[in-house]
Structure 1
């Protein structure tokens, strides 16, 4: 998993061991774009797995520390 962000402090807060583990368990990829989280899986019929992907993305977002929502990255 790569940490690519215009704000390295934000990336360090968000990409934790738990986030990496949950992402790997979900066999999914995701990225943040503005106020949106975009997720994907590389299966042939992803529409049958969309609820599972949404649940996995919700769990991943749940791992983000509260400070990412307030904009306080500790700097």
Structure 2
């Protein structure tokens, strides 16, 4: 599963809109819900792909009064 968007690449006045692709590479069950938990984020530039981020979710809490409170 993947999605793509156009975002400004670079942090200066000459930055141009470039395609950024987010690939969800694996799924895992957290609290009974199967969700994508590994992602690779890349810019697709004319010079070639630039891997910008590899992300892995290791813990997930939701609908709690005190999120991430130690037990």
Question: Under TM normalisation by the shorter chain, which class is it?
Answer: under 0.3
TM-score, normalised with respect to structure 2: 0.23
Q: Which has the larger radius of gyration?
A: 2
Bigger RCO of structures 1 and 2 (CA < 8 A, at least 6 apart): 1
Higher helix share: 1
